[in-house]
Amino acid sequence: MEALGEVYRMLGAAMLTLARSMLRDRDEADDIVEEALLRIRRAASGFRGERGLRTWTLRIVANLCRDHLRRRRFSAGPPEDLDPLEAAGLRVEPVAEWDEAMDRRTVLAALERAIARLPAEQREAVVLRDRLGLSYEEVAATLGVSEGAVKSRLFRARENLKRAMAAWLET
């Protein structure tokens, strides 16, 4: 149990960031992370460390999020008019060189809505690579696809996001 607590201390923030960015619902995301911890506990004896603890853990969270999104296809999902940062339970970090004239919350809310509109496979790639800072190799191992597929998903995701955020990226 102590080892699992250590895993949560080390990777809890990344697990929650991934689940909350993917699902945009704080309660659902927290349930997913809780379930992931249970699975990690059950599967701990099978962990061989080939892919690294972070990749292995985030893969469990990503798979649970994917299953959840598949089930959610038949429900309405979170309403569009909700503040996506508030609903997802994401906090805004101070950004260096951030244009002070920009309303950070408005911009980041628009970005979260744009991320939510991405297909799930592009969304998970962009969250893992750009939000959590994983390498291409780690993203590929987490998602169980080739590095080429990761680069292609990421390129398409970023093009979509740039289009959606054009007004704020030009300033």
- Picking from 54, 59, 66, 58, the residue whose alpha carbon sits closest to that of residue 121 is 66
Read off the amino acid at residue 122.
Q
Residue 50 or 62 with smaller CB distance to another protein: 62
Closest to 67 in 3D by CA, of 91, 46, 43, 39: 39
Tell me the closest approach of the beta carbon of residue 50 to another protein, in angstroms. Answer: 25
Binding site for another protein (CB under 8 A): 1, 4-5, 8-9, 12-13, 15-17, 20-21, 30, 33-34, 37-38, 41, 85, 89-93, 95-98, 104, 107-108, 111-112, 126, 130-131, 133, 158, 161-162, 165, 168-170
CB nearer another protein, residue 9 or residue 76: 9
What is the crossing angle of helices 53-72 and 26-43, to 10°?
A: 130
We find the least distance from the C-beta atom of residue 44 to another protein, in angstroms, to be 11
| Least distance between another protein and beta carbon 161 (Å) | 6
Q: Cα torsion for 127, 82, 92, 75, to the nearest 10°?
A: -30
Rank residues 42 and 76 by Cβ distance to another protein and give the closer one. Answer: 42
Q: Which is nearer to another protein, 38 or 77 (CB)?
A: 38
Question: Which of 47, 68, 61 shows the shortest CA–CA distance to 134?
Answer: 61
